[in-house]
């Protein structure tokens, strides 16, 4: 299992690095489109569709993403999309976690499929647009999510006492959430101090943008909000899997489960990061 996990991780990393550092944003957009289409298939299966029917959900996600690309939204998307995603994730995500797996399963299959398609399309568009903004910006958002997850894991193991959502993810604790937030702030100040001023950086990082446009106090609050929303993304995917009685979203990534298992925390964070980045003149 470990060997399989390492091989899968190395192959994915090689593909992502080649696409990320390509001369244009298109290779990255197309690679992530393939992944998000697969995530659409996984979402369909987790929400009651058979394999062939679930392919339709993946195809709808892919078609909508291609339509957004054709409309020029990869380069200049309407900011209202990010605020729509913010509304969906903050209100819908909070409600879903409060209702738990049982509450999720009471909704119609059509409603659940629609929510998933919307979340996946907006996440792909935000991820692809982040690459258009610049590699430094894209990496800063990715590292925010990874730092929140890693810090939460180790902080939760060392300090975890109070369960966060025992019916959804018994291993998560409030202490882990606080640890993740502290890790994100440490990363943010280090990035702004060490990486953003470096020669050759192609864009400002998310951290630099938020501190520059909102000021440090509001920038800190924005980053804490994004760290919290990464947890929401993780918990929502966990409750969908629990509702379906599944351990992993699929077996597409040997040793890692499915695509949704790897990108769940990214789904809310990228569109919400772009929503916050669109604010101006508050510093």
Nearest by Cα to 259 from 102, 4, 31: 31
pLDDT score, position 120: 97
pLDDT score, position 282: 52
If residue 162 lies in a helix (H) or strand (E), which one and from where to where? none
Average pLDDT over residues 182-190: 98
Using DSSP's 3-state secondary structure scheme, residue 71 falls into: coil
**How does pLDDT run across 60-102, given as a tens digit for each residue?**
999 999 999 999 999 999 999 999 999 999 999 999 999 999 9
pLDDT of 168 strictly over 70: yes
pLDDT score, position 9: 79
pLDDT score, position 7: 82
CA dihedral 135→238→248→246, nearest 10 degrees, is -160
The residues that bridge with 257 in the sheet, in sequence order, are: 253
pLDDT of 202 strictly over 80: yes
pLDDT of 281 strictly over 60: no
Q: Are 128 and 135 in contact (CB under 8 A)?
A: no
- Please give the angle made by the CA atoms of 80, 115 and 67, to the nearest 5 degrees: 60
**How does pLDDT run across 224-254, given as a tens digit for each residue?**
999 999 999 999 999 999 999 999 999 888 8
| CA dist., res. 241 & res. 248, Å (int) | 7
pLDDT of 1 strictly over 70: no
Alpha carbons within 13 A on the beta-carbon side of 182: 12
Number of H helices, E strands in the chain: 12, 2
pLDDT confidence tier of residue 127, bands split at 50, 70 and 90: very high
DSSP label at 278? T
pLDDT score, position 5: 74
| CA dist., res. 57 & res. 54, Å (int) | 5
pLDDT score, position 151: 97
**How does pLDDT run across 3-45, given as a tens digit for each residue?**
677 788 788 889 988 999 998 999 999 999 999 999 999 999 9
pLDDT score, position 13: 83
| CA dist., res. 178 & res. 176, Å (int) | 5
């Amino acid at each position: 299992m470990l060997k399989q996990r390492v091989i899968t991780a190395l192959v994915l990393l090689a593909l992502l690095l080649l696409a990320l550092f390509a001369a244009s944003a298109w290779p990255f957009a197309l690679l992530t489109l393939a992944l998000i289409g697969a995530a659409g298939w996984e979402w369909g299966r987790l929400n009651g569709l058979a394999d062939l029917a679930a392919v339709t959900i993946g195809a709808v996600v892919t078609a909508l993403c291609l339509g957004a690309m054709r409309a020029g939204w990869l380069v200049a998307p309407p900011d209202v999309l990010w605020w729509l995603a913010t509304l969906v994730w903050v209100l819908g995500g909070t409600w879903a976690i409060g209702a738990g797996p049982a509450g999720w399963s009471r909704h119609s299959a059509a409603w659940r499929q629609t929510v998933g398609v919307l979340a996946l399309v907006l996440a792909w568009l935000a991820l692809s647009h982040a690459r258009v903004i610049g590699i430094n910006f894209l990496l800063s958002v990715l590292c925010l999510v990874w730092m929140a997850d890693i810090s939460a894991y180790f902080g939760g193991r060392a300090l975890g006492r109070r369960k966060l959502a025992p019916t959804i993810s018994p291993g998560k604790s409030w202490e882990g959430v606080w640890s993740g937030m502290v890790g994100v702030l440490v990363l943010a100040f280090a990035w702004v101090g060490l990486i953003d001023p470096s020669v050759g950086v192609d864009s400002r990082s998310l951290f630099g943008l938020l501190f520059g446009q909102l000021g440090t106090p509001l920038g800190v609050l924005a980053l804490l909000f994004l760290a919290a929303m990464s947890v929401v993304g993780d918990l929502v995917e966990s409750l969908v899997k629990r509702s379906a009685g599944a351990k992993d979203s699929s077996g597409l990534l040997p040793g890692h489960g499915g695509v949704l298992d790897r990108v769940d925390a990214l789904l809310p964070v990228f569109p919400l990061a772009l929503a916050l980045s669109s604010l101006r003149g508050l510093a």
